[in-house]
Structure 1
Amino acid sequence: MTMQMETRRAARPAAPWVGGKRLLAQKVIARQKEVDHTCYVEPFVGMGGVFLRRDFAPACEVINDYDREVANFFRVLQRHYVAFLDMLKWQLTSRSEFERLLQVEPETQTDLERAARFLYLQRTVFGGKAQGNFGVTRTGPARFDLTKLVPVLEDVYERLTRVVIECLPWQDVIDRYDTDGTLFYLDPPYYGTESYYKARFGRGEFTEMADRLRNLKGRFILSLNDCPEVREIFSNFDVEKVGVTYSLSRKVDARGQRGELLISN
């Protein structure tokens, strides 16, 4: 990487996320460091499993998620950090509170209330899965502990300095930010898991994505699960297989080493 980059302190995501990149992040970031870029864009940022762990930044950074809860959370944290912490001050880990907040329509809340609800549910739900079950553990403390959460939020807040936050369809993000100096990192829902996500993503969009990436001015790195359908759709690009171990599912045959692909141009 020869272009001028600012050094940034890496941060951890503030909550779990289905498809979070904790295990794959360093491999992705190592590939990113090999690509010269003046603009970095993530059309599917989720909770920032890769973005927040980047310890370098070009002149322009853009994070996007079409899930309104995700975009609102990052915007509130970036612009109303102190007020947001005040919203969380008296929150405790409680099954009754978890179930109460599940029933609240986020559209009826203020942006601050909405962000607080989102963070609480993401930290207390099993596996970071939206609309899932209350997560419990017999080996650790309560999942929503503000004494441990505040340092994490502070690091995320600092990492968001000068970052552009969008809430657009991934197609619009590519159209808006594609230049010769742009590096996109795409982390869409994995093939066959589209229904896990609140932001709608159709099976046919993988083919559309391949078509758009074929005509990209900039560079891209795309992470997806290794399956015949994905290999066929993205067969015109460089495909690298990497192994990652997962353990979210309770089913024994769903655990263990899984093949993932890093696809790039």
Structure 2
Amino acid sequence: MTKLTPPHKIKAKLTAAKTRLNGVFVENEPWERYFKRYDREHTFFYADPPYWQTAGYARSFDWMQYELLAKAMAEGKVILSINDHPDIRELFKDFRTTRLELIYSVSRDKTQKTSSKLVICNR
């Protein structure tokens, strides 16, 4: 059974979200256009593309997109989080890579699962 937020707490949560997001712009466009528009000396990008060869994403992200991302990482300040896959390791081999082992559980299921993720930095 899902617990509902009491009505008197909803206003406080919405106010906190409004304060936190003040000045934030949400855009919906291809990532490479976004990178070109906002890349400056002081800009830092966090990239979290769809995981390579993993189903369930609403939009396609083919191999060429990963290649373009690697090229963009050579030019700007970017940190990338992605699944640990041999193809990904090969493509991003010139960047600093850290492998993380994550332990997580889904919803109320207490069964813990492990997953590995790569964090790839270009600087």
TM-score bracket for this pair, using the shorter chain length: 0.7 to 0.9
1:231 corresponding residue in structure 2: 89
Aligned counterparts, 1:157-236, within 5 A: 157-193=18-54, 195-216=55-76, 219-236=77-94
Tell me how far 1:239 sits from its aligned partner: 0.3
Structure 1 stretches lacking a partner, 5+ long: 1-137, 250-254
Kindly indicate whether residue 11 of structure 2 is the aligned counterpart of residue 141 of structure 1.
no
For 2:18 and 2:61, the matched residues in 1 are separated by 28
Tell me how far 1:185 sits from its aligned partner: 0.6
Question: Is the strand fraction higher in 1 or 2?
Answer: 2
Q: Which moved more, 1:166-175 or 1:202-211?
A: 202-211
Secondary structure of the 1:229 match is helix
For 1:197 and 1:152, the matched residues in 2 are separated by 29
Tell me how far 1:168 sits from its aligned partner: 1.1
Q: How many residues align?
A: 117
Tell me how far 1:150 sits from its aligned partner: 4.3
Question: Is the helix fraction higher in 1 or 2?
Answer: 1
For 1:229 and 1:149, the matched residues in 2 are separated by 45
Tell me how far 1:248 sits from its aligned partner: 3.5
1:260 corresponding residue in structure 2: 117
Change in 2 beyond 3 A, CA 1:233/1:146: farther
1:22 corresponding residue in structure 2: none
2:17 corresponding residue in structure 1: 156
For 1:231 and 1:177, the matched residues in 2 are separated by 27
Kindly indicate whether residue 108 of structure 2 is the aligned counterpart of residue 246 of structure 1.
no
Secondary structure of the 2:94 match is coil
For 2:57 and 2:44, the matched residues in 1 are separated by 25
Deviations 1:63-89 (A, max 9, x none): xxxxxxxxxxxxxxxxxxxxxxxxxxx
RMSD: 2.3
Provide the TM-score with structure 2 as the length reference. Answer: 0.80
Tell me how far 1:236 sits from its aligned partner: 1.0
